[in-house]
């Protein structure tokens, strides 16, 4: 089973406006309510791609109950920890017709040590061959070593560990040799404390993270596709397919889901990396998270160029 962890989920209230004017009354042309959080996004895309997973993490209050209801309605399995106080955050996303987007993100409820220990217990109960995906930020007050703690809880089992997070959260997990990490170019530069300008510098920087413990590294490069460095030392530059970018939110999460879903289907690491780019691109070319049909179509296009 694949388990995704979302420490700080959200209910995203998306409003589409012709133009947003600060300090004035604004009326939207349409709205959407979507469950959010990087781990949740990964589970939704996995489900869209025909792969089962279970959502772990924390929910609180009526917003948390709505998120769980929506995920179950989508067919996603959930095993969240319900907090006794507080309320899961609501994030407001304002999208203008011109393409500009503004966000108002809440903080989320406080997670105490008792709650963290309950999550560690769930992770420690994972079985051999399970996959644990740790992704996204954590609420205020949660120590940056939390992903290291969860990785340690899974140690001793043959659990496939995936981490998609910024430096302060990722680095404590690197000693546990995650199977996959997926930074974007800006995040990779921040992890190494230097701006990476050339392909050679990017590849060298990825190798530095391998020396710190990461086994496979997939660096998302936006319109330029991705760079993949395998645990066998193989380098693969993957060009992004052509298409109209509509929404890049969740593209990185879609890449993680694409990689892991194709691994579950027995594909090679090269194929997994190409499928990851296909899923990320399918999401970018859609208003919502990607569906299987569009992902498969883009994967065939990428494969003709990269795997021929």
Show me where the domains of the chain are located: 1-178, 180-308
Question: What is the CATH T-level fold of the domain 180-308, as seen in this structure?
Answer: 3.40.1190
The CA distance from 90 to 95, in Å, is 16
Tens-place pLDDT, residues 44-87: 999 999 999 999 999 999 999 999 999 999 999 999 999 999 99
pTM reported for the whole predicted model: 0.95
Does the structure show a pLDDT above 70 at 162? yes
| Superfamily holding 1-178 | Ribokinase (3.40.1190.20)
1, 53 Cβ separation under 8 angstroms? yes
Residue with tokens 């993270």: 209
Q: What single string gives the DSSP state of each residue in 157-186? A: S-PEEEEE--HHHHGGGGGG--SEE--BHH
The CA distance from 205 to 78, in Å, is 37
How far lies 154's CA from each of 18, 95, 131, 138, 265, in Å? Answer: 48, 40, 10, 19, 23
**Mean pLDDT confidence for 166-171:** 95
Tens-place pLDDT, residues 182-195: 999 999 999 999 99
Instruction: Answer whether 1-178 and 180-308 agree in fold.
Output: yes
Does the structure show a pLDDT above 80 at 306? no
Region for 34 from its dihedrals, namely left if φ exceeds 0, alpha if ψ lies in -120 to 50, beta otherwise = beta
Q: Which residues are catalytic?
A: 253
Residue with tokens 């530059």: 237
Least-confidence region, from 63-67, 154-158, 166-170, 294-298: 154-158
In terms of DSSP H, where are the helices of the chain? 38-48, 61-74, 113-124, 146-154, 167-170, 185-192, 199-212, 251-264, 269-284, 292-306
pLDDT band at 307 (very low <50, low <70, confident <90, very high): low
Least-confidence region, from 97-101, 155-159, 164-168, 248-252: 97-101
């Amino acid at each position: 089973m694949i388990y995704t962890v979302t420490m700080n989920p959200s209910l995203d209230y998306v409003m589409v406006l012709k133009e947003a004017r600060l300090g004035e009354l604004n009326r939207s042309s349409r709205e959407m309510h979507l469950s959010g959080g990087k781990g949740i996004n990964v589970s939704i895309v996995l489900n869209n791609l025909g792969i089962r997973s279970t959502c772990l993490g924390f929910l609180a209050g009526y917003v948390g109950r709505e998120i769980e209801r929506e995920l179950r309605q989508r067919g996603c399995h959930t095993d969240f920890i319900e907090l006794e106080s507080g309320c899961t955050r609501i994030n407001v996303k304002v999208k203008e017709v011109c393409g500009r987007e503004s966000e108002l993100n809440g903080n989320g409820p406080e997670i105490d040590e008792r709650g963290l220990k309950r999550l560690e217990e769930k992770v420690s109960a994972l079985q051999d061959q399970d996959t644990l995906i740790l992704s996204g930020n954590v609420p205020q007050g949660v120590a940056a070593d939390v992903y290291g703690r969860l990785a340690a809880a899974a140690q001793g089992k043959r659990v496939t560990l995936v981490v998609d997070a910024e430096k302060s959260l990722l680095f404590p997990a690197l000693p546990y040799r995650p199977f996959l990490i997926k930074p974007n170019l800006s995040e990779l530069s921040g992890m190494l404390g230097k701006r990476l300008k050339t392909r050679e510098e990017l590849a060298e920087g990825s190798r530095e993270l391998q020396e710190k413990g990461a086994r496979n590294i997939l660096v998302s490069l936006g319109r330029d596709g991705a760079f993949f460095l395998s645990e066998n030392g193989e380098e693969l530059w993957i060009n992004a397919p052509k298409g109209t970018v509509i929404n890049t939110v969740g593209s990185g999460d879609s890449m993680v889901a694409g990689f892991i879903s194709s691994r579950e289907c027995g594909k090679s690491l090269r194929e997994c990396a190409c499928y990851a780019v296909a899923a990320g691109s399918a999401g970018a070319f859609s208003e919502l998270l990607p569906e299987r049909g569009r992902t498969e179509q883009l994967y065939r296009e990428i494969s003709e160029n990269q795997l021929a």
